[in-house]
Amino acid sequence: MIIERPKEVGKIKRMRKWVIVYGRRKTGKTFLVENFVDYDEYFFVKRDRSIISKKDYKVMSYETFIEILKRALMDNKTIVVDEFHRLGEDFFDFLHYIKRQGKLILISSTLYLSKKLFSTRSPLLGLFAEIPVHLIDLTDCLNALKKLELGKKQLLETAILLREPTAIEYFEYKRNARAMLADVLLASIKTIPALIGEIFIEEERNISAIYEGILRAIANGKVVSSEISSYLFSKKLIKKDDPSIIQQYLNNLVAFGIIKRIGIFNKNRFVYKHVSPLTKIFYYADEKYNISERAIREKEVKRIIDELFPMIVEDCVRESLAKRFGLEERVLQAKDYEVDGCLLKFKKPEIALEVKWKKNISKEDIRRAEENLQRIKARKRFLFVIDKKGLSSSAISIIDVHDLVNKI
């Protein structure tokens, strides 16, 4: 299955400036550029700093590559250089001094390099447009699946699965999405931490441990910076229990699309969440059940997925509706109640959202949702369910999976 990503492709094509496409490994950066962007030459940089031309698969030296690149840009051609960070400082100096002609598309998957390029001291600052490529947008996955005859629950859960490009090869028509996700997780127990770890490959060992500790803390339910700081301190990863120490680490992970920061409505606080359902499930399962150090059965994996999936759906639906309406994503936490989403327009609530991801919705479920949502002065109040058929409310709007695919 091929899932088109028109937003990212459109950005790359529209940019007249040189472009840096970045994001962690296995988010589909290479596939996207190779298959949906027009280019004249595509070069891949190996770990030994030799370069492969994808036109004829010949290996060339750095010196030969530079000469070819120089001539191609002077001829106003479009050139792609994948994993360009492996070329080092000499290449950065070359880019700084060469005349900006043609179109140069650079692809990278390391946090260290991205920080270096985008820092105020970087000689390349301002030369490139930055285009992050993270998980596939939920809407793009739904659009790819909507022609298939899938039930509403299966449609959304499969779309959430396919947001992770590594899961696409596991897709089987009409097979249960959670079973497919279990296959992906069982096949990736060793590679998931490696994919994340490779982002920090240039960092010092102790700094990389802090990044991984943050991911484990968030998966373990420590979602505000003070809780994350306390977790890291308890693991002796930081010398002092102080949230300010970890702020830059959190900012870097947000910038690179590994975690997301969501504001709490009417409070000067944030919660942090995993962007990838796959990494959320892995780190949660490893923290709770130590799955990376022992053999784990498929039945146990499925139980963990069943436990987490309603929360994953909640995050995805809130994000999707915020994008659909162009609103700012927030959650709401009060002493005696919580609301799954509070989407803002000019800092004022536009949509209040409750998500009930279960098969049977009772009248009591609707009554409680009405009670919670009516506490918020929002223009629209949505209860999101698997299937709204047979459900009604005079106080709130009940929407379901097909409303995410079609216009609400």
Q: What CATH number corresponds to the domain at position 260?
A: 1.10.10
Asked whether residue 338 carries a pLDDT value surpassing 90, the answer given is no
Say which residues have a Cβ less than 8 Å from residue 169's Cβ, sequence separation at least 6. Answer: none
Q: Could you tell me if residue 307 is inside a domain?
A: no
Of 27-31, 40-44, 73-77, 120-124, least confident by mean pLDDT is 120-124
Residue 111 pLDDT class (50, 70, 90 cuts): low
Residue 167 pLDDT class (50, 70, 90 cuts): very high
Integer angstrom CA distances of residue 285 from 10, 294, 311? 37, 12, 15
Q: Please give the helix or strand (H or E) that residue 368 lies within, else none.
A: helix 363-373
Asked whether residue 202 carries a pLDDT value surpassing 60, the answer given is no
Give the DSSP per-residue string, 34-90. Answer: HHHS--SEEEEE-TTS-EEETTT--EE-HHHHHHHHHHHHHTT-EEEEETGGGG-HH
Indicate if 286 and 201 belong to the same structural domain.
yes
Residue 203 or residue 135, greater confidence: 135
What's the confidence (pLDDT) of residue 235?
95
For the chain, the domain total comes to 3
Indicate if 279 and 348 belong to the same structural domain.
no
Indicate if 266 and 336 belong to the same structural domain.
no
pTM of the model: 0.90
Q: Could you tell me if residue 177 is inside a domain?
A: no
DSSP single-letter state for residue 242:
-
Q: Of the residues 291, 324, 357, which one is the last residue of a structural domain?
A: 291
Indicate if 68 and 29 belong to the same structural domain.
yes
Half-sphere exposure of 151 (CA within 13 A, CB side): 10
Asked whether residue 203 carries a pLDDT value surpassing 70, the answer given is no
Strand pairing partners for 262?
271
Q: Could you tell me if residue 305 is inside a domain?
A: no
Q: Of the residues 104, 132, 160, which one is the last residue of a structural domain?
A: 132
Question: Averaged over 111-130, what is the pLDDT?
Answer: 66
Instruction: Report the distance separating Cα 170 and Cα 159, nearest Å.
Output: 13
- 106, 18 contact by CB (below 8 A): yes
Nearest to 257 by CA among 282, 274, 277, 269: 274
pLDDT per residue as tens digits for the range 264-298: 998 889 999 999 999 999 999 999 999 988 888 89
pLDDT per residue as tens digits for the range 343-370: 999 999 999 999 999 999 999 999 999 9
Indicate if 229 and 286 belong to the same structural domain.
yes
Residue 128: give the domain boundaries. Answer: 6-132
Indicate if 117 and 206 belong to the same structural domain.
no
Indicate if 286 and 326 belong to the same structural domain.
no
Give the DSSP per-residue string, 296-312. Answer: --HHHHHHHHHHHHHHH
Indicate if 116 and 10 belong to the same structural domain.
yes
Q: Could you tell me if residue 146 is inside a domain?
A: no
Asked whether residue 372 carries a pLDDT value surpassing 70, the answer given is yes
Indicate if 201 and 281 belong to the same structural domain.
yes
What's the confidence (pLDDT) of residue 394?
95
What's the confidence (pLDDT) of residue 244?
96
Residue 119 pLDDT class (50, 70, 90 cuts): low
Asked whether residue 43 carries a pLDDT value surpassing 70, the answer given is yes
Q: Please give the helix or strand (H or E) that residue 108 lies within, else none.
A: strand 103-108
Asked whether residue 300 carries a pLDDT value surpassing 70, the answer given is yes
